[in-house]
Structure 1
């Protein structure tokens, strides 16, 4: 800082097309920074690279992203923890890798995060996140919300970007999806589980193993299921209610009236991503109409026919896309 001033910063989404054109890939969050003019002279951006990676000349640099494009800044200095760069004016800054140099498959400091998903989920399931070490646990917790319990365990491991991983369980026979997933440099702002492990009733402990594409173990832990969250077979029918179906029915008319066309398009995209609806359903009947209201009616009816879990996903998507409207429509429990 050249003088005393208030500095504000927050995470924004990378534009992958800009990075690809420059032959770069994101190496950390993209920070949008604002401050009074001429107050900031230098930025220290945190990194989590290994000593081996730092020996690769030109691997790390800084992207300065602005309205008209992107410029690449050469660091003034790189320490064990930060990349230091001089700046003349502010907008968005983030660390980037040289894509060619990064292709040497340098090991990454990774983490495995586990969340037990219990609300309206029978059987219970464990969401398994494979993430870079730089992702804050608090951010992932925030997106999981109150419907999941964080399972505390030692999470450190070594992962390789671009390599495929799989999750295995002991005892065997538990349903796990997907079978394989590529480890990518997910830097937010959204964090979705890499794997889902569905538990049988009253299972007290399960061993989770993450293996790479060659079958080598990257991470193994014994995971204890909290007793308060277990559901016995006798109680499962009682616990699986139509609570979210009822919520959706109650807010139907206001939902149709209040949701914007832009918000509706985002909701449809996210429902397609989660495979709650399929493209064919959007191409038939009233879903294809140009009327916004009729399109909303079609989506609600299509989701409602698929049961309580699908209704819960629609409400979750509404909360994510338009949290203000969600608070207005959906009363707190």
Structure 2
């Protein structure tokens, strides 16, 4: 058996939850498809739970106790494509005239928010990221600017906990847009090229900062009038001034 999904830690009052639905990323579910199960970790013990039902998107189990859960799949079956995601994070390097675009190839049942937690210094670039990739197959990005490092890499179904980038691309800071696609080892297109804006996140951050500064300036100018007219204004004023 091998991991087929991230590890979940579930904690609540006993008896509240009767069934759990775990998202999977398999594309071939049926009588002769890959066999999925759920690993239940209780202290030093591991329990393998057989599903009550497997749908096109979820594995459903009956719950007896709660702790750590994770999906497993049988390694004896041939490797087939799974639902996957191509995620992008952009990092500005202020000391040099270069920025970095990080490309992550991850299974489709990995929550994007979990990947974001490990790259908070970068700007997440939203795009239509869904695709189908085959585990243990090599892929390579194609870019209209910059050189990807490495040039080619094996898709190894990363379920954490670190979520390291699969590729990085060094880009001149003057570049505002980049077109990126994904090819397999035979140069066949597996994810059509998308045009990504490298300035959208920066513009949004600047707009948020401007709104906060405007709010703080408003409080400075009208502090006495606000105190006389609005209840709980001190808490509001202090909150705005902290963001100044």
Counterpart position of 1:319 = none
Counterpart position of 2:174 = 202
User: What displacement does 1:228 show?
Assistant: 8.7
Structure 1, residues 51-92: CA drift from partner, whole Å, max 9, x if none? x23443561111122233322221111223321222323332
Cα separation, 1, equivalents of 2:105 and 2:22 = 23
Verify: 1:159 aligned to 2:136, yes or no.
Answer: no
Verify: 1:226 aligned to 2:226, yes or no.
Answer: no
User: What displacement does 1:105 show?
Assistant: 2.2
Verify: 1:45 aligned to 2:22, yes or no.
Answer: yes
Cα separation, 2, equivalents of 1:152 and 1:132 = 17
Structure 1, residues 265-284: CA drift from partner, whole Å, max 9, x if none? xxxxxxxxxxxxxxxxxxxx
Cα separation, 1, equivalents of 2:89 and 2:68 = 32
Cα separation, 1, equivalents of 2:130 and 2:46 = 34
SS in structure 2 at match of 1:115: strand
Structure in which a larger fraction of residues adopt strand: 2
Counterpart position of 1:99 = 75
Counterpart position of 1:283 = none
User: What displacement does 1:42 show?
Assistant: 2.9
Report the count of equivalent residues.
Answer: 201
Unpaired runs of 5+ in structure 1?
A: 1-23, 230-333
Using the size of structure 2 for normalisation, the TM-score is: 0.73
Unpaired runs of 5+ in structure 2?
A: 203-244
Counterpart position of 1:76 = 52
SS in structure 1 at match of 2:4: strand
Moved more, 161-170 or 53-62: 53-62
What pairs up with 1:165-244 in 2 under 5 angstroms?
Answer: 165-171=139-145, 174-219=146-191, 220-226=193-199
Cα separation, 1, equivalents of 2:125 and 2:201 = 13
Answer 1 or 2: higher relative contact order, Cα 8 Å, separation at least 6: 2
CA RMSD in angstroms comes to 2.4
Cα separation, 2, equivalents of 1:46 and 1:64 = 16
Cα separation, 2, equivalents of 1:157 and 1:137 = 15
What pairs up with 1:268-283 in 2 under 5 angstroms?
Answer: none
User: What displacement does 1:195 show?
Assistant: 0.5
What pairs up with 1:1-333 in 2 under 5 angstroms?
Answer: 24-50=1-27, 52-57=28-33, 59-101=35-77, 104-120=78-94, 122=96, 123-145=98-120, 147-171=121-145, 174-219=146-191, 220-226=193-199
User: What displacement does 1:168 show?
Assistant: 2.0
SS in structure 1 at match of 2:29: helix
Using the size of structure 1 for normalisation, the TM-score is: 0.55
Q: Structure 2 vs 1, CA of residues 98 and 202 (structure 1 numbering), >3 Å: closer, same or farther?
A: same
